Amino acid sequence: MSHEAIRYVPLDQIDCELQIRTSFAEQPLIGLARSIQEIGLQQPLRVRAAGERFVVVDGERRLRAARLAKLAEVPVIVEEKPLCAGEILQRQLIANLQRAGHTPVERAQAIKRLLDETGWAAVEAAGKCGISSATVTRSLAILELPQPIQARINAGEVPESAGYLLKQVADPHKRAELVSQMAAGQLSRDALASEVKTDRPRKSRKSTPSVNRATALVAGGDSVTVVGTALTLDRMVDALSSVLARIRKLRSRGVADVAMACRLLREEAQAEMKAAPAVAQEVS
């Protein structure tokens, strides 16, 4: 196990950039500052070097409390290698998930930023951060809800796991009514799932589309097969373009093995298809 050296750095040499946590309750922060005054800062901050200064990677809340406690310096662990934005986000997200001290919206925003910065697929980000694909899908769904509903989820009035279900309610008035019922304790999350399921348009069994298969030969004797319902030439082009774009993205991230690439593509597709039922089964 590697040993990370702890050093002491003056508070005025440490800066903070955008973190996962964006809100800090005043009273808990004051309480932490008092405990720091009594017994000191027990857990060092994790920082990265930025010229002659340091930037917080993990520990902004402790830094704020240390400033309230009027400490002159704090213990830190300096990251040994330079970190890109995606690596910083990954570390912050993992640290905050382990402490569970951030709000649902903060976590969702962090996951969205992580996907944007790294280009990772949802299933890949889930694996690297130690969370389930359903959690990633559920978190991202919160960001598609109106701000007032996000605020009620943050406040704990509405279960975080209800966000994905509420996103599926197309009528904003009905969605607002369901949110009010949940906040008042008149509607459980399971009852909401039933409401959403009942509200979905029913498909006729007689209209089940047929499955088609199209195989195209390419140079060198290789072939590419596309299978789909009601397959047309345009849909075949769209499917091939989508797969090609995803394969290129995997290759740009260093995936060179065909079997590994196919596995990642399959897992990503399965995660997307199973996201709705997987989230619906989770208990708040």
Q: What is the pLDDT of residue 52?
A: 86
- Residues of the chain where predicted confidence (pLDDT) is lower than 70: 1-3, 18-25, 85, 88-102, 130, 200-211, 219-221, 272-284
Q: What is the pLDDT of residue 107?
A: 80
Q: What is the pLDDT of residue 173?
A: 92
The matching CATH number, chosen from 3.40.50.670, 3.90.1530.30, 3.40.50.1220, 3.10.50.40, for 7-83 is 3.90.1530.30
Q: What is the pLDDT of residue 235?
A: 78
Q: What is the pLDDT of residue 280?
A: 47
Residues 6+ apart with CB under 8 A from 114: 86, 89, 90, 93, 120, 125, 129
Whether the full predicted model's pTM is greater than 0.75, yes or no, is no
Secondary-structure class of domain 103-198 per CATH: mainly alpha
Query: Do the beta carbons of residue 214 and residue 223 sit within 8 Å?
Result: no
pLDDT digits (tens, 9 = 90+) for 81-131: 777 767 766 666 666 654 545 678 888 888 888 888 778 888 887 877 767
Q: What is the pLDDT of residue 96?
A: 61
Q: What is the pLDDT of residue 97?
A: 57
Q: What is the pLDDT of residue 43?
A: 80
Query: Where along the chain do its domains lie?
Result: 7-83, 103-198, 210-281
